[in-house]
Homo-oligomer: A and B are copies of this chain.
Amino acid sequence: MNASLQLALLLLTLGSSRGLQPDLWDDFEEPVEAERVVAASRFGSLWPLPQKVKISDVSLLLSGLTFRIADGKGSSSGASCSLLQNAYRRYYEYIFGHSKRQPEVESFPAGPSVVTELQVLITSADSECEGFPGVTSDESYELTVDQPYAVLKAPKVWGALRGLETFSQLVYEDEFGAKSINSTTISDFPRFAHRGILLDTSRHFLPIKVILANLETMAMNKFNVFHWHIVDDPSFPYMSRTFPHLSQQGAYHPYTHVYTPSDVKMVIEFGRLRGIRVVPEFDTPGHTQSWGKGQKDLLTPCYSGDKPSGTFGPVNPILNTTYDFMSKFFKEIGTVFPDAYVHLGGDEVDFNCWKSNPDIQKFMAQQGFGQDFSKLESFYIQKLLDIVATTQKGYMIWQEVFDNGVKLKPDTVVHVWIGGGANEEMGKVTAAGFTTILSAPWYLDYISYAQDWQKYYKVEPLDFKGTEEQKKLVIGGEACLWGEYVDATNLTPRLWPRASAVAERLWSAADVTDINDAFSRLSAHRCRMVERGIPAEPLFSSYCPREYRGI
């Protein structure tokens, strides 16, 4: 529909198929057959697709010399809002490239077909510029592109951030390399409030640089929650001020493989500037092997016969010292992480060690739990939840905690992850009145040949039996990239653009399901990520005008 789209046309061919051995032919679908040109989408390279879009045929020009992004008149955020000022610079650079600087010019030439300014107007009295994003943050915005001004209106800075990304996605290069944009009106808001990415920094340590690059990419895809699965069995990289031994003993390395308080602050602020919440997960009572190294008596000693075997199981739920520790630890977490929620895990507790321990057995008898160790698990979790509630935090938990009948605060978010039966689980959780987020179909650590993004894209989170009221309790979902097989070497290309499929599902309207249109827009979107320095992997045989410059 316009010159940039012509440029973005991707010539795709079935290519291979020496690449395709006969016995594998049936395992995947290819979106194209023989040589054919995939038609450009009438929505260009917009991703995720906004709720309402009208793109006219009128093409306007932008000049790096004259174009500016500035606060509109009457905006409740002024020059002191560095969140927006940072975003203006960031998007100016994305649009015009890092190498160009805006020189002093005496006159700002403008013409009938030039857009000289994007005016950003925060319309509500409190712009929330200094605040943190939250699950109720307003991310809506209205964008009008016309000459000589484009106008972006949003009640809060969060919507302005989303609108700036959208504006930058509307800009294209015409056949002479001139930056162009079509006259457009957009009205947009997210379908779901919680749109997250889970990264796991325990199975492999992820250097801060990798985390920041992925927060940056999340913003390009309008994700708004970084679920930081920060510790787990293999390592404890979180440096605690209250319990420094935890990382000194439990990290892969006490200096090179830890997140210092400054690192954590930087991640949180980097996220905030992009409208991204940082929700840390400190998973207990299972998944805690690394905790035991720096905190004596925290884990349950396992027994072999009538003697301790030297190995340890889940957190020891029968000692008062355990709860003293948890109180202090989560008090620190509550102050370090500003988000209103903390993820408390609670999944996959292995009962074998508890069963082997005579003290635990005695306690079970005293409590009248019989041999039902899920009651002991619930006993622990209940006490933990009560502790965390005193820190004024809400909590998220993996679905087992709900399944086991633990009493939950009404604002608890239940995280559904178990594949097979996830739909029924969503029904149960919402029938019980709890908000929920979905991850089961979006475990991106599972890889397979060919275009698995289509599988993620086709998921419908509300596809379960339930009332309208129940559906409203689904506040979103998360794409999870567990860390067994990813580290700094391969995480970014493995996550993008596969996670982009989840991004559109969670942001765009429910009826945005055309897989061919999505293929076209996503191909262009991935090339844009590449141009912005992110090694997002290809969807299929194709090319980008500017290929990735790393290796």
Contact surface of A with B, Cβ cutoff 8 Å: 11-19, 21-24, 34-35, 200, 202-205, 207, 209-210, 213, 232-235, 252-253, 256-257, 287, 289, 311, 347-348, 398, 417-420, 440, 443, 445-450, 482-490, 492-494, 530, 534-538, 540-551
Q: A16-B203, A448-B448 are in contact. Are A548 and B489 (CB under 8 A)?
A: yes
Q: Verify A203–B541 contact, CB threshold 8 A.
A: yes
Distance in angstroms between the alpha carbons of A107 and B496 in the assembled complex: 55
Could you pull out 17 A-B pairs where Cβ atoms are within 8 angstroms?
A11-B252, A13-B233, A16-B482, A16-B484, A17-B348, A21-B418, A21-B440, A256-B546, A450-B485, A485-B538, A488-B548, A488-B549, A488-B550, A489-B537, A490-B494, A490-B535, A490-B537
Distance in angstroms between the alpha carbons of A341 and B287 in the assembled complex: 55
On chain B, the residues within 8 Å of A311 by CB distance are: 34-35
Q: Verify A485–B551 contact, CB threshold 8 A.
A: no
Q: Verify B205–A547 contact, CB threshold 8 A.
A: yes
Query: Can you add 9 more A-B contacts, CB < 8 Å, to A209-B549, A253-B545, A257-B543?
Result: A11-B234, A16-B482, A18-B287, A234-B541, A252-B543, A485-B537, A487-B537, A489-B530, A550-B550
Q: A35-B233, A289-B13, A493-B493 are in contact. Are A547 and B18 (CB under 8 A)?
A: no
Q: How many monomers of this protein are in the complex?
A: 2
Q: Verify A234–B15 contact, CB threshold 8 A.
A: yes
Q: Name the distance in Å between A521's Cβ and chain B's nearest Cβ.
A: 18
Give chain A's interface secondary structure class: loop
On chain B, the residues within 8 Å of A544 by CB distance are: 487
Among A35, A535, A540, A549, max chain B CB count under 10 A is at A535
Distance in angstroms between the alpha carbons of A488 and B542 in the assembled complex: 12
On chain B, the residues within 8 Å of A445 by CB distance are: 19, 449
Q: Name the distance in Å between A204's Cβ and chain B's nearest Cβ.
A: 6
Q: A490-B493, A548-B488 are in contact. Are A21 and B419 (CB under 8 A)?
A: yes
On chain B, the residues within 8 Å of A11 by CB distance are: 234-235, 252
Q: Verify A449–B450 contact, CB threshold 8 A.
A: no
Q: Verify A22–B418 contact, CB threshold 8 A.
A: yes
Q: Verify B233–A14 contact, CB threshold 8 A.
A: yes
Q: Verify B537–A551 contact, CB threshold 8 A.
A: no
Q: Verify B489–A493 contact, CB threshold 8 A.
A: yes
Distance in angstroms between the alpha carbons of A449 and B256 in the assembled complex: 29
Distance in angstroms between the alpha carbons of A487 and B540 in the assembled complex: 10
Among candidates B205, B233, B542, residue contacting A15 with C-beta atoms closer than 8 Å: B233
Distance in angstroms between the alpha carbons of A334 and B525 in the assembled complex: 41
Distance in angstroms between the alpha carbons of A23 and B421 in the assembled complex: 11
Q: Verify A398–B13 contact, CB threshold 8 A.
A: no
Q: Which 4 A-B pairs have the closest CB atoms?
A: A19-B482, A489-B535, A490-B493, A21-B419
Distance in angstroms between the alpha carbons of A35 and B310 in the assembled complex: 12
Among candidates B489, B538, B540, residue contacting A536 with C-beta atoms closer than 8 Å: B489
Smallest CB gap from A536: residue in B = B489
On chain B, the residues within 8 Å of A482 by CB distance are: 16, 18-19
Smallest CB gap from A488: residue in B = B548
Distance in angstroms between the alpha carbons of A200 and B205 in the assembled complex: 32
Distance in angstroms between the alpha carbons of A209 and B449 in the assembled complex: 26
Q: Verify A21–B443 contact, CB threshold 8 A.
A: yes
Q: Verify A486–B419 contact, CB threshold 8 A.
A: no
Distance in angstroms between the alpha carbons of A22 and B18 in the assembled complex: 34
Q: Name the distance in Å between A33's Cβ and chain B's nearest Cβ.
A: 12
Q: Name the distance in Å between A402's Cβ and chain B's nearest Cβ.
A: 15
Among candidates B253, B487, B549, residue contacting A548 with C-beta atoms closer than 8 Å: B487
On chain B, the residues within 8 Å of A200 by CB distance are: 19
On chain B, the residues within 8 Å of A205 by CB distance are: 543, 547
Distance in angstroms between the alpha carbons of A305 and B85 in the assembled complex: 64
Distance in angstroms between the alpha carbons of A419 and B15 in the assembled complex: 19
Smallest CB gap from A252: residue in B = B543
On chain B, the residues within 8 Å of A547 by CB distance are: 205, 207, 256-257, 487-488
On chain B, the residues within 8 Å of A443 by CB distance are: 19, 21
Q: A22-B418, A446-B449 are in contact. Are A541 and B204 (CB under 8 A)?
A: yes
Q: Verify B489–A420 contact, CB threshold 8 A.
A: no
Q: Verify B15–A537 contact, CB threshold 8 A.
A: no
Among A17, A21, A543, A549, max chain B CB count under 10 A is at A543
Smallest CB gap from A287: residue in B = B18
Q: Verify B535–A488 contact, CB threshold 8 A.
A: yes
Q: A17-B348, A488-B535 are in contact. Are A448 and B450 (CB under 8 A)?
A: no
Q: Verify A446–B488 contact, CB threshold 8 A.
A: no
